[in-house]
Amino acid sequence: MTVSRVLSVLRGRNPLFLGTGSIKRLGRGYASSSEALRRTGLYDFHIEHGAKMVPFAGYSMPLSYGDVGQIASHNHVRESVGIFDVGHMVQSNFRGKTATEFLEWLTPSSLSSLKPYSSTLSVLLNEKGGIIDDTIVTKHASDAFYVVTNAGRRDEDLAWFTEKLKEWNSQQGKDGPVEHEVLENWGLLALQGPEAASYLQGLTSFDLRQLTFGTSAFVPIEGFNLHVARGGYTGEDGFEISVPPSQTVDVAKLLSKGPVQLIGLGARDSLRLEAGMCLYGNDLDETTTPVEAGLSWVIGKERKEKGGFIGADVVQKQLKDGPTRRRVGLVVDGAPARHGAKIFAPLGREELGVVTSGIPSPTLGKNIAMGYIQSGWHKKGTEVEVEVRKQLRKAVLTPMPFHKPNYWRG
């Protein structure tokens, strides 16, 4: 698929991807092309490698590289190994004697039971149980956590952290404050694909087999000592590597030699949707709870019962009584259903929900989508209809992930 074709597909249909137009959903933290855009430490590196740069989440980010199309890039990650610049994400450290308790107040996860250098997907919740952002929380020690949040929610997240830290620290007394450090301008590189481990192993004496999915370590890589977390956003085995600002370009050069290919936003979106991963602003927002989003598994077992986190009352009620809507996967006949497409009962009798993300799946050769539907209609195999270009097309509710994950679990 050519760059112009990718842009024509993404522009206007998925409001998180831009060609030359401005974005419509500014209220959710995504910058228009007329606003000043931030740059990651790899901006010049991308330009040198023929990247087509587009506005995304307040940053100028690569959509694709040279004449390599989105589908070819997607398939390369599924079959070999690719690398993504995700340095736009916000990396933070939280430290202090009560850091665990503080983060367990902000999120519903059981962080106290996490082993050192283990991670969990989690969510920051508002008082109504709505998702302020989704996040990866890594425990380094009982009093130290590494947290990654979304670039498009940078302002909202940092303001929330500041407000809640002030409130928390005013009550701690002799236990001392929790400190928050934003790792400004640090690089973050995602090496993804079935050949990611073998490639990275050739650059380090560290035995990567002991680094299983959801764990991390400081790993020596050709003279660099880098935080490497096993996981990612594609459904494939891989690593997310945090890099100090002064080393980002050199590490990117080291990690982007053959067979590794540079991969942009176009393929990142199709890979993550096949893997059933949510995109904040499309599939998650402040009016959506983790129960509605099918993320109840991030809530610790004892926390479901005892609460103690912001928004717990709403979440616990939904866990008990069930939500009124649920996130589901769909396979759609004919043309692909895009963000905003309405979901109906058969024969268009009743509107049931809305599609939040949708693509033609390069791996499956089918039109796949994610969305929210009324409870009672959410069971797998249920047939519905989706409005695509003013026509109702048949769709079947299908379990996610659409593509079987290939994570390394040892």
At residue 173, the pLDDT reads 67
Residue 77 shares a structural domain with residue 216:
yes
Q: Are 137 and 108 in contact (CB under 8 A)?
A: no
Q: What is the domain extent for residue 257?
A: 42-87+186-274
At residue 385, the pLDDT reads 97
The percent of the chain in helix, strand and coil, each rounded to the nearest 5, is: 25, 30, 40
In a domain, 342, yes or no: yes
In a domain, 162, yes or no: no
Residue 81 shares a structural domain with residue 191:
yes
Give per-residue pLDDT as tens, 16-59: 333 322 223 322 334 444 469 999 999 999 999 999 999 999 99
At residue 175, the pLDDT reads 79
At residue 348, the pLDDT reads 79
Residue 270 shares a structural domain with residue 332:
no
Residue 268 shares a structural domain with residue 343:
no
Handedness of CA 210, 215, 220, 222 (dihedral sign): positive
Residue 207 shares a structural domain with residue 73:
yes
- Helices and strands in the chain: count of H runs, count of E runs: 10, 19
In a domain, 208, yes or no: yes
Side-chain half-sphere exposure of 154, counting CA atoms within 13 A: 17
Number of domains in the chain: 2
- Over residues 272-288, the mean pLDDT reads 98
Distances (CA, A) of 147 to 22, 99, 140, 144, 158: 30, 12, 10, 10, 12
- 135 vs 400: CA distance, rounded Å: 20
In a domain, 49, yes or no: yes
Q: Which two tokens stand for residue 362?
A: 């390069």
Q: Are 132 and 187 in contact (CB under 8 A)?
A: no
Handedness of CA 166, 168, 172, 178 (dihedral sign): negative
Tell which of 250, 274, 298 closes a domain.
274
In a domain, 95, yes or no: no
In a domain, 381, yes or no: yes
What HEC string does 57-82 produce? CCEEEEEEECCECHHHHHHHHHHCCE
Residue 190 shares a structural domain with residue 262:
yes
In a domain, 220, yes or no: yes
- Over residues 127-149, the mean pLDDT reads 98
User: Is 240 labeled as ligand-binding?
Assistant: yes
